């Protein structure tokens, strides 16, 4: 403290000698009222060559940087809330924007000019310019989201912070590349795939007249501030023939804008907020009992020796009712490496033949689950374990997965099979057994049947059976759903759908009877 006071006295005495003996007060405070005189006599008092910052108490947001060289520069300063990625929270940070070098001899570089310009500069910091030429295009924003947006937490999770799953990341990247950036994927091998992509590209890039306004370029080429709900509707209109895809793309665009707004990369409103999605016809379907018996008998028979992985997977889908990805990602035992743990869905518990349990760590609702395997399921897995050591299937021993990927296992890589791995086998099975699915027609309300079995129907068939025996709540618990509504709306097909609809209709008639009278032969009698 004594050294600082001595220095201040020396500076004051030196200033007095230079001003003809007249005493000049040198400001040593960080914040004080700027004047021409005290700014002129300010000296550098910082450390490590960092600029010495002084703040004007007479004008909010005005700051003066004093450099070791003696140069003085006016800055605008404002505290702005910014996201701290390391601490995962919003924090106040001082934002500085340069005004100009201080020159008392120039009118536009003096104190008065600085005070007049600081308010506009602060507004610019808080609200970035909306000059369209300087704005990023939506295509550039989409690229930024692909590079850094999916490395953070999902915006959809309001109560808990969850990272994006790899399957979600892959889906989002595919949508962005195909429908936003309109770039062909490297995996487009066949002529059919290339032609299909060209159709999509032509549709998204073509000149279109929508609501008496012409659009002559794709969404990716528009500046962010230009995009309105009309531009989003144009994309939706272009993809109207594939309604589910159109809804997915609009959702993807909305996610990108929400991410940009949260991370201060976009200041406007989300143009997707007012968009009404296309109605999607979701068919509740299941296997009829006769076809369940056909599949299970086929899996138990001699065919298992030739296709052990496919048939065991098929049987487990009907016996435990888990999702396709959850079953395919199972390991024979728990891995010790954290990376290996993250790359699998779960594993068989130690001594699983006696305990009859497997553990799922990676589920859709992010709730780990301990799944019971009945005697029939244990028998299938035991049979699969033995099949691995035959000459035909010896390639699978190197893989830790119950359902390994053939090419990866041969190359010594740890990858599990996918749905496409069993696609050809499933087509043959449908043809051989003549499988039939039962579904509810949303328009007519009648129960119909259709040839062709899909892998995802194993879970729906399992859920419907459990609901019939033990009720909706038990079925919801077995399917690991967050609510019974999800189970009822999407997974459980009633025993007799037509009867259910007739009961609802009868209740409606009774209600009308109380209000209007009695309906006899579709005529109202009062």
Domain 2-127: homologous superfamily in CATH: Integrase, DNA-binding domain (3.30.160.390)
Distance of CA 118 to the CA centre of its chain: 40
Asked if the model's pLDDT at residue 525 lies above 80, the reply is no
pTM of the model: 0.59
pLDDT at position 43 is 86
d(CA 348, CA 371): 10
CB 215 within 8 A of CB 236: no
User: What's the confidence (pLDDT) of residue 510?
Assistant: 41
Cβ contacts of 355 within 8 Å, gap of 6 or more: 349
For tokens 């808080």, what's the residue? 126
The DSSP 8-state label assigned to residue 106 in this structure reads S
Q: Does domain 285-451 have CATH number 3.40.50.970?
A: no
- Is there a contact between 404 and 328 (Cβ–Cβ < 8 Å)? no
CA distance 344 to 330: 6
- Maximum alpha-carbon separation in the chain: 117
Rounded CA separation 18/340 (Å) = 75
Q: Is the dihedral of CA 417, 420, 424, 430 positive or negative?
A: positive
pLDDT of residue 86: 61
- Please give the Cα distance from 24 to 31 (Å, whole number): 18
Partners of residue 330 on adjacent β-strands: 346
pLDDT confidence of residue 526: 33
In the chain, the N- to C-terminal Cα span, in Å, equals 102
What's the pLDDT at 264? 84
- 293-350 per-position pLDDT tens digit: 999 999 999 999 999 999 999 999 999 999 999 999 999 999 988 888 888 999 999 9
Contact at 8 Å (CB) between 426 and 455? yes
Nearest to 343 by CA among 371, 327, 362: 362
H/E segment holding residue 440 = strand 436-440
Distance CA 121, CA 127 (A): 10
């Amino acid at each position: 403290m004594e050294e600082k006071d001595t220095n201040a006295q020396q500076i004051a005495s030196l200033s007095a000698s230079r001003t003809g003996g007249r005493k000049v007060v040198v400001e040593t405070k960080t914040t004080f009222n700027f004047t021409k005189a005290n700014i002129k006599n300010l000296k550098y008092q910082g450390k490590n060559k960092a600029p010495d910052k002084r703040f004007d108490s007479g004008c909010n947001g005005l700051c003066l940087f004093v450099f070791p060289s003696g140069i003085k520069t006016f800055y605008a300063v404002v505290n702005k809330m910014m996201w701290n990625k390391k601490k995962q929270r919003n924090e106040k940070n001082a934002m500085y924007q340069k005004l100009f070098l201080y020159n008392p001899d120039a009118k536009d570089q003096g104190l008065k000019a600085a005070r007049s310009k600081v308010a506009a500069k602060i507004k610019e910091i808080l609200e970035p310019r909306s000059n369209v030429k300087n704005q990023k295009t939506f295509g550039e924003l989409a690229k930024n989201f692909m590079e850094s947006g999916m490395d953070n937490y999902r915006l959809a999770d309001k109560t808990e912070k969850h990272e994006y799953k790899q399957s979600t990341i892959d889906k989002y990247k595919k949508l962005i590349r195909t429908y936003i950036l309109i770039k062909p994927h490297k995996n487009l091998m066949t002529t059919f795939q290339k032609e299909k992509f060209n159709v999509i590209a032509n549709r998204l890039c073509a000149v279109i007249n929508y609501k008496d306004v012409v659009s002559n370029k794709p969404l990716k080429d528009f500046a962010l501030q230009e995009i309105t709900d009309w531009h989003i509707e144009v994309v939706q209109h272009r993809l109207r023939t594939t309604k589910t895809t159109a809804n997915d793309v609009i959702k993807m665009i909305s996610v990108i804008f929400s991410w940009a707004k949260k991370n201060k990369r976009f200041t406007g409103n989300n143009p997707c907020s007012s968009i009404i999605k296309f109605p999607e016809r979701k068919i509740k379907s299941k296997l009829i009992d006769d076809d369940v018996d056909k599949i299970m008998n086929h899996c138990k028979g001699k065919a298992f020796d030739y296709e052990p992985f496919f048939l065991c997977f098929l049987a487990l889908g009907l016996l435990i009712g888990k999702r396709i990805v959850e079953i395919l990602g199972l390991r024979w035992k728990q891995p010790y490496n954290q990376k290996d743990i993250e790359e699998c869905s779960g594993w068989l518990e130690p001594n699983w033949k006696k305990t009859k349990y497997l553990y799922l760590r990676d589920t859709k609702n992010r709730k780990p689950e301990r799944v019971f395997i009945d005697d029939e399921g244990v028998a299938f897995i035991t049979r699969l374990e033995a099949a691995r050591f035959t000459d035909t299937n010896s390639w699978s021993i190197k893989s830790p997965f119950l359902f390994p990927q053939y090419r990866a296992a041969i190359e010594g890589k740890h990858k599990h099979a996918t749905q496409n791995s069993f696609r050809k086998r499933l087509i043959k099975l449908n043809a051989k057994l003549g499988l039939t699915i039962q579904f509810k027609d949303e328009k007519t309300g009648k129960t119909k049947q259709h040839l062709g079995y899909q892998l995802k129907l194993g879970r729906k068939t399992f859920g419907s059976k459990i609901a019939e025996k033990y009720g909706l709540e038990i079925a919801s618990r077995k399917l690991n759903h967050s609510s019974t509504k999800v189970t009822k709306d999407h997974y459980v097909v009633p025993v007799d759908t037509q009867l259910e609809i007739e009961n609802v209709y009868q209740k409606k008639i009774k209600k009308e009877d109380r209000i209007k009278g009695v309906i006899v032969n579709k005529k109202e009698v009062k």
